[in-house]
Structure 1
Amino acid sequence: MPTLILQQFDRGFLRSLFWIALPIALQSMLFSSRSLVDILMLGQLGNAQVAAAGIAGKAFFVAIIMLFGVSTGGAMLTAQYWGANNKQGVREATALTVMISGCFASVAAALFLFAPEWVMGLATQSPKVIALGSEYLRITAFNLLGAAFGIGIAVGLRSMHQPGVSTFFSAIGIGANMFLNWVLIFGKFGLPAMGIKGAAWATLLSGGIELVLLASYLYGRKHLLAFNFQTVVTVCNKKDIQRFLKLSLPITFNHLAWAGGIFVYHAIIGQLGINGLAAMSVITPIESLSLAMLIGISNASAVFIGNLLGANKNDEAYLKAWAFSLLNLSFALLTVCVMLLIKQPLLNLFSGLTEDVRALTDHFFDIFAIILVLKSIPMVMIVGVLRAGGDIKFCFYQDIIAQWMIGIPVTAFCAFILHWPIEWVYALLGLEELIKWFASSFRVHSRRWMNNLVA
C-alpha cells in the first residue's frame, strides 16, 4: 500500500497537480490578502479599528464560505462532467451555480445592509467597535453579489483545469484594493481620510473592477462558460435544481455550521477582552495566507478525484486520495517552518498595536503554527476527497460533532467557567481538528465515499 501511494507521485501527476493547485493557492492568497491589507493599514490607527475590521471581516468570511458551500454542488457536477467529456454539462452546471449562488448572496447582503449592528453585537459589547464594523458591513454587503458570480465561474474554470483565468483577474482586483485602501483610508490625492469606511469602499470598488474584467474576458472570447439567457432558462427546471440542491444544501449547511463555529470561537475570544479580539483579528488573515497552498492542493484533489470517479477509475482515485493527504501534510510542515522564520518581521508591520496586544499576538502565532499541521489532513480529505465523491452527509455530521458538540462547548467552558488564560483558550481551537484527523482517515480508508454522480 505505501509503495503504491508513493508511485502516484510521477512527473505527469505532479505537473498537472501544480498547474491546478498553484493558481488556486494564489487565488486564495489574493483573497486573504484583502483582509490582511485592511488589517495592516488599519493597524496603524489603533486597536478598535483592527478589532472592528476583524469581526466584520469574519462575518463577511461566513457569507463567502456559504457561497463556497453552495458552489460545491456545482464543483462536483462540473468536475465529473468534464471527466465524462460532457462540455454542455459543464456549461449548464456553471450557469446553475451562478444563479443559485446569487440567490443566497442576496439574502446575506440584505442581512449586512439592514442589520449590521446585530451581527457585530454577536462578537463584542464595545459600542465603538460595533459602530465601526457596522459601517464596514453596510458598504461591503453589495460585494457579495459580485462574489457569487466570481465563485461560480471559478468552479467551472477549475473543473476545466483553467484556474489561472480567475486567478489573473483576482490579482488585478487585489492590486486595485491595495491602491484604493491607501488612498481612501489615509486620504491621499486631496481626498478625506476615511479610516475603516475607506477600507470598505476600497473592497467594494476593487471587487467591481475584478467582476467587470472577468465577465468582459469570458464573453469577449466566447468562452465555454460564457453562458447566455437561453442556458439559464434551460437549467432553471425542477429536475436540475433539485439535483443541484440535493448536493449543495447539505454542503452549504455544513459550510455555514463550520464558518458559524469559527465566528463563535472569535466571539468567545472577543468576550475575554478587546486585546484578545485585536490579536485574533491580526492572526486571522495571516492564518488564511498560511493555509493557501493547502487549500490549493485540497481543491485540486477534488478536481482530480472527481475526474477519476466520473471515469469510473475507483482504484486510482483511492490511491490518489492518500497521495494528496501525504502531500498536504508535507506542505503544512514546510509552511510552519517558513512561518516561524518570518514571524517577527511580519508582526512588526502592525505598528499601531499596543505592547500587550503585540505580545498576545506573538503567542497566538506560535499556537496556530501547531494547529496548521493538524488542519492539513482533515482539509484535504473533507474538501477534496470525500466531497468529490458526494460523501456530504458524513462531512456534515463530522463537523457538527467535532465543532459544535465538542470543540465549542469545551472552549466556552474553559474560557468562562474555568477562566483559563486566553492563550490556552485559543489553543483549544485545535481540538476539533484532532478529532477530524482520525474520523476522516477512517472514512477514506473505508472507500464508502466513492460515488459516480453523473452516470
Structure 2
Amino acid sequence: MIFSSIRGDFLRRLLAIAIPIALQNILFSSRGLVDVIMLGQLGESEIAAVGVAARATFVSTVMLVGVTTGGALLTAQYWGAGNRQGVRESTALTWLVSTSFATVTALLFILFPESIMSLATDSAEVTRLGGQYLQITSVSMYAIAMVSSMAVGLRAMHKPAISTFFSAIGICSNVFLNWVLIFGHFGFPEMGISGAAIATVLSGVIEIVTLYGYLYRKKHLLAFRLNDLIATVHWSKVKRFLKLSLPTTFNFLMWSGGLFVYHSIMGQSGVQGLAALSVMTPVESISLSFLIGVANASSVLVGNQLGAKDFDKTYYQAIGLTAFCVLSGTVIAVLLYFLQIPVLNSFAALTPETRELAEKFITILSLGIVLRSFPMAAIAGVLRPGGDVKFCLYQDLCAQWVIGIPVTAMMAMIFHVSPEWVYLAFLLEDFVKWFGSTLRIRSKKWMRNLIEADL
C-alpha cells in the first residue's frame, strides 16, 4: 500500500517538481560557493569572513523562507481545490509580508554589520571584511523575498522550472560579475570581498527584473495587480496567513540562528576551524539540494491531496516519500564521500592543516546527510503541509536549543575537544528529530484541510 501509493504517475509528478527545485537550490547555494572559491584565491581570512557573513545572511534568508511558507501551504491547497483566485491572492499576500520582513533584516545588516560578525569570531580582520560584505549585501534581502514569493506560487502550480530558469540567469550573472569585480577586469579596480558583495546585489536585481518581466509579459496567473494586493489586506486573510507563517518563521529563525551559534562555537577553535567550516557550508547546501527539492515537492503534493480531502492516500504517500528521501540521502552521501578530493581541490588557499581538517569534516558531513534526510522530509514535506507548524517549532527548539547546542558548547568550551568532534556534535539534533517526527507522522494529527480549518 505504501509503495504502491508513490509509484507510477505520482513518482513522476514528484520528480518533475523536485528536480527543478533541487536545481534552484543548487544554483542558490552556488552563489555562496562561488564567493568562497573565488575569494579563496586571496586567503583564509577572506574565506572565514565570507563564511561567517554568509551564515548571517542565511539566517535572514531562512527567516524570509519561513514567512513565505504560510503562502506556500495555502497556495498548494488552493491549487488542489481548483481555486485560481485564491492562488493569485495568496501569492500577492506572500509578496507583501515577505518584503516587509526583508526591510527589517536589511536595516540590521546596514546598521550593525560588525556587531553581527563579532558574534562568531574575535578576529578583527575577519570582522572587518565580513562587515563590509554584510553591509553591501543587505539590499539583496529584497531580491530573496521577491523571488521566493513567486517561487512558492510556481511550485504550488507544479511549474517550478520557471523560477529555476531565472535563478540560472542570476547565478551566471553572479559568476561573471564576481570575476569582474573581485579581480578587476574590464577596467574595474580589484575590489576583493566588496566586489563579491556588489556582484551578489547586482545579480539579484537581474534575477528579479527577468523573472517578473516574464510573468507580467505573459499575463501569468501569479502576475498580481494592485487590486489583488488590496483584496488580500483583509484581517481574516492576514490572520490565517500569519497563523501559519509566524510559527514557521520563528521556527526557521531559531533553527538558522542555532546554526549561527554552532558557527560561533566552532569559531572558538580559531580561524582554521572557522575556515574549514566555511568550506563545508556551501558544500553541505549543494549536497542537500536534491533532498530539499524532494521535501518541497512532497509539500506541494501532500498539500494538494489535503486540499482535495484525500486523507487515506495522503498518509501512505507520506510514509513512502520519507523512505524515498532516506534512500536518496544515502546515495548522495556515498557520492560526496568519494568525490571529496576534487571538491576540496577547488579551495586553493587552504593550508595543509586546514585541508586535513576539511577532509575529516566531509566524512562527518556524509554521515550527516543520511541522518538529516528523514527529519527533512518528515518536517518540510509532510507535517508542515498539514499546518502542523507548532509541533515542528517545538521539536526544533527542543532538539537544537535544549539538547544540540548545550552539548556542543560543552564539548568545545569545557572539554576542549578537537574541531572534528565539535562538528560531529552538530548532528545530535537530527538524531533526536528522527524519533519525534516518526511518532508524529504515525499519529495522523497533522492531516488537516487548511482552507476550511479553523486556525
TM above 0.5: yes
Q: Aligned letter for 2:164? A: T
Contact 1:97 1:152 in 2 (8 A): yes
* Whole-angstrom CA distance in 2 between matches of 1:405 and 1:340: 31
Structure 1 residue 10, shift from structure 2 partner:
2.2
What is the one-letter code of the residue matched to 2:427? Answer: G
Cα distance in 2 between the residues matched to 1:214 and 1:48: 35
Number of the residue aligned with 1:308: 305
Amino acid aligned to 1:371? G
Q: Which residue in 1 is equivalent to 2:84?
A: 87
Query: How far is the alpha carbon of 1:272 from its aligned partner?
Result: 1.4
Unaligned 5+ segments in structure 2 are none
Aligned residue in 2 for 1:22: 19
In structure 2, how many angstroms separate the alpha carbons of the residues matched to 1:164 and 1:367? Answer: 32
Alignment counterpart, residue 216 of structure 1, candidates 208, 213, 216: 213
CA distance in structure 2 between the aligned counterparts of 1:210 and 1:422, rounded to whole angstroms: 38
From 379, 404, 421, the equivalent of 2:401 is 404
Partner amino acid, structure 2, of 1:165: I
Aligned to 2:2, the other structure's residue is in SS state helix
Are residues 1:36 and 2:30 paired?
no
Q: Which residue of the partner structure matches residue 289 of structure 2?
A: 292
Q: Is the 8 A contact 1:235 1:241 kept in 2?
A: yes
1:360 corresponds to 2:357: yes
> In the TM superposition, what are the counterparts of 1:41-440 in structure 2 within 5 Å?
41-440=38-437
Unpaired stretches in structure 1, ≥5 consecutive residues: none
Judge conservation of contact 2:6–2:321 (CA < 8 Å) in 1. no
CA distance in 2, matches of 1:414, 1:28: 32
Q: How far apart are 1:6 and its partner, in Å? A: 1.5
State the secondary structure of the residue aligned to 1:349: coil
Give the letter for the 1:274 counterpart: V
Does the residue aligned with 1:445 lie in a helix, a strand or coil?
Answer: helix
Alignment equivalent of 2:9, drawn from 7, 12, 34: 12
Between the aligned partners of 1:297 and 1:445, the Cα distance in structure 2 is 20
Q: Report how far residue 9 of structure 1 moved.
A: 3.2
- C-alpha distance in 2 between matches for 1:10 and 1:138: 48
Instruction: State the Cα distance separating 1:225 from its structure 2 match.
Output: 0.3
Q: In 1, distance between residues paired with 2:6 and 2:106?
A: 44
**Contact 1:44–1:353, Cα closer than 8 Å, also in 2:** no
Go from structure 1 to structure 2 and tell me whether the alpha carbon gap of 1:363 and 1:111 turns closer, same or farther (over 3 Å shift).
same
Q: CA deviation at 1:340?
A: 1.5
Deviations 1:274-323 (A, max 9, x none): 10000000010000000000000000000010011111100100011011
Secondary structure in structure 1 of the residue aligned to 2:426: helix
Other structure's SS at 1:5 match: coil
Asked whether the equivalents of residues 374 and 433 of structure 1 are also in contact (C-alpha less than 8 Å), the reply is yes
Residues 347-367 of structure 1: CA deviation (Å, up to 9, x unaligned): 011111111111111110100
CA distance in 2, matches of 1:244, 1:141: 26
CA contact (8 A) 1:294 1:331 kept: yes
Partner of 2:451: 454
- Give me the whole-angstrom Cα distance separating, in 2, the residues matched to 1:347 and 1:46: 15
Letter in 1 for 2:144: A
Q: CA deviation at 1:271?
A: 1.5
Q: Distance in 2 between matches of 1:9 and 1:399?
A: 28
Deviations 1:371-419 (A, max 9, x none): 1100000001101100000001100000000000000000001110111
1:115 aligned partner, one-letter code: F
Structure 2: which amino acid aligns with 1:381? A
Give the superposition deviation at 1:152.
0.6
RMSD: 0.7
- Residue identity in the other structure for 1:104: F
Number of equivalent positions: 452
